[in-house]
């Protein structure tokens, strides 16, 4: 989604720029080309006022067509209404022009064709072809009505070739540019996706590296000592260290899991080794628990590992929602007190020893 939007607007921006270029082309042609010819030959027309009115009608058609295409793809009905008004005005202006001088005085041919290009630009190509054919036919009819002057006919054919050719070329060019913009946008999109994949891979790699470092500090020296036989598995303290490291390995694996209630999940993983040792571990929750950040979870699960490693036969872990945070408590028959991790990452500890039972509570405060 986040990668889609910018590239989609990018391709949209190019298309809009092409549309604006065509609007300027058409308006420029009507103003300078059509308008200039009209003013130059104003004495030649039967009624200059009628020609001027038709020029205005076509100018309005250009304005309406521009608004339509700049707002987005116009509907079939709206596009053709504008195109046919322009065609009608152009034909009326041609019909009212003096016969025999058509080539010199008829200003409206070119403009009508360009208006067709403007409004039909992003519709099917055949629609533009039909429109240009209709325009050619209309002018041919006007000439036939005027008695098919040979000079006019020759001029008409030359003009047809020149102006229709230019109009078709512009329409085809815009189409090609649209395609190129779409391809560029797609390329940018896939480049974005590739960049995101690379960033994700980097994060995963960093997390793996952090885990590897954590193991280098803790499990690796122990394994090295065991291999070198400087640590004796018969020694209770060595067995204790092994149990702690095994629980940490399980937790490291659990930290990578994407699950709701990560803390409960990681506590279960931390309890796994103690359970294999035959300690009955209960884990219960009360209330809607807040999300605890990963650093605080690490501190809490470290405490869990310390207590569970010391537990002889039973342990109860509870998680309760309290005002502004969470209270995670441990009750276990450790026999003696347990060294808990130092308060960190917003987690504070309390503990109490009653006979062979320990109670410890980790409170994480979200403020």
Partner 1 sequence: MEQPVTVAIIEDHPVVTEGVASWIRSDPGQRVLLVQSARDLTALRAGPQPSADVVILDLELSGEMVTAQIPELVAAGYRVVAFSGHNDPAVVMETLDNGAHAYLSKDEGRDHLVEAVLAAAADRPYVTRSQARAMLADQRPARPALSQQERQALLLWFQGMSKASVARRMAISENTVRQYISRARAKYAATGRTAPSKDALLARAIEDGVIKPGEISPYTSFARSAAENPSLGAPGQ
Binding site for partner 1 (CB under 8 A): 282, 284, 286-288, 316, 318, 320-323, 327, 329, 331, 352, 354, 357, 359, 361
Place of tokens 């571990």: 281
Cα dihedral 57, 59, 62, 63 sign = negative
Q: Decide if 209 contacts 159 (C-beta within 8 A).
A: no
CB of 267 to partner 1, least distance (A): 14
The CA distance from 52 to 107, in Å, is: 11
Q: Is 326 exposed, middle or buried (0-12, 13-18, 19+ CB in 10 A)?
A: buried
The CA distance from 227 to 247, in Å, is: 20
Q: Decide if 62 contacts 83 (C-beta within 8 A).
A: no
The DSSP annotation for 301-318 comes to HHHHHHHHHH-SSEEEEE
Task: Give the residue from 213, 242, 211, 215 showing the smallest Cα distance to 226.
Answer: 242
Q: Decide if 362 contacts 351 (C-beta within 8 A).
A: no
CB of 67 to partner 1, least distance (A): 55
Query: Rounded to 5 degrees, what angle do the CA atoms 362, 366, 367 make?
Result: 120
The conformation of residue 322, written as its DSSP 8-state character, comes to: E
Q: Which is nearer to partner 1, 256 or 287 (CB)?
A: 287
CB of 354 to partner 1, least distance (A): 5
Q: Which is nearer to partner 1, 92 or 328 (CB)?
A: 328
The CA distance from 299 to 296, in Å, is: 5
CB of 284 to partner 1, least distance (A): 7
Q: Which is nearer to partner 1, 40 or 350 (CB)?
A: 350
C-alpha distances (whole Å) from 345 to each of 203, 303, 365 are 22, 13, 9
Q: Which is nearer to partner 1, 39 or 286 (CB)?
A: 286
The CA distance from 233 to 227, in Å, is: 11
Q: Decide if 238 contacts 303 (C-beta within 8 A).
A: no
Q: Which is nearer to partner 1, 139 or 274 (CB)?
A: 274
Q: Which is nearer to partner 1, 202 or 350 (CB)?
A: 350
Q: Which is nearer to partner 1, 56 or 286 (CB)?
A: 286
Q: Which is nearer to partner 1, 305 or 331 (CB)?
A: 331
Q: Which is nearer to partner 1, 100 or 290 (CB)?
A: 290
How do beta strands 347-354 and 325-332 pair?
unpaired
CB of 355 to partner 1, least distance (A): 9
CB of 325 to partner 1, least distance (A): 11
Q: Decide if 320 contacts 285 (C-beta within 8 A).
A: yes
The CA distance from 125 to 168, in Å, is: 9
CB of 217 to partner 1, least distance (A): 32
Q: Which is nearer to partner 1, 249 or 331 (CB)?
A: 331
CB of 280 to partner 1, least distance (A): 10
Q: Which residues have a Cβ under 8 Å from the Cβ of 1 and sit 6 or more positions away?
A: none
């Amino acid at each position: 989604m986040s990668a889609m939007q910018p590239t989609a607007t990018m391709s949209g921006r190019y298309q809009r720029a092409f549309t604006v270029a065509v609007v300027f082309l058409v308006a420029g042609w009507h103003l300078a080309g059509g308008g200039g010819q009209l003013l130059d030959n104003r004495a030649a027309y039967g009624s200059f006022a009628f020609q001027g009115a038709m020029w205005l009608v076509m100018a309005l058609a250009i304005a309406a067509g521009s608004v339509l295409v700049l707002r987005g793809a116009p509907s079939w009905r709206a596009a053709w209404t504008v195109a046919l008004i322009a065609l009608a005005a152009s034909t009326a202006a041609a019909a009212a022009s003096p016969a025999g001088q058509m080539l010199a005085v008829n200003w409206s041919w070119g403009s009508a064709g360009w208006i067709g290009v403007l409004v039909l630009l992003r519709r099917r190509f055949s629609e533009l072809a039909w429109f240009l054919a209709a325009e050619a036919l209309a002018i041919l009819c006007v000439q036939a009505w005027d008695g098919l002057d040979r000079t006019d006919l020759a001029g008409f054919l030359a003009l047809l070739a020149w102006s229709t050719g230019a109009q078709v070329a512009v329409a085809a060019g815009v189409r090609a540019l649209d395609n190129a913009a779409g391809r560029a946008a797609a390329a940018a999109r896939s480049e974005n996706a590739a960049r995101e994949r690379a960033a994700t891979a980097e994060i995963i790699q960093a997390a793996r590296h952090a885990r590897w470092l954590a193991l280098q500090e803790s499990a690796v020296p122990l394994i090295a000592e065991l291999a070198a036989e400087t640590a004796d598995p018969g020694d209770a303290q060595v067995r204790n260290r092994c149990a702690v490291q095994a629980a940490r390995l399980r937790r490291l694996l659990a930290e990578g899991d994407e699950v709701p209630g990560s803390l409960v999940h990681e506590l279960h993983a931390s309890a796994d080794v103690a359970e294999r040792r035959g300690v009955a571990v209960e884990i219960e929750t009360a209330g809607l628990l807040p999300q605890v950040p990963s650093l605080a979870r690490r501190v809490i699960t470290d405490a869990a590992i310390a207590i569970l490693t010391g537990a002889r036969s039973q342990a109860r872990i509870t998680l309760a929602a309290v005002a502004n945070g969470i209270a995670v408590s441990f009750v276990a028959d450790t026999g003696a007190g347990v060294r808990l991790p130092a308060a960190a990452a917003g987690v504070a500890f309390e503990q109490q020893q009653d006979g062979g039972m320990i109670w410890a509570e980790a409170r994480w405060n979200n403020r």
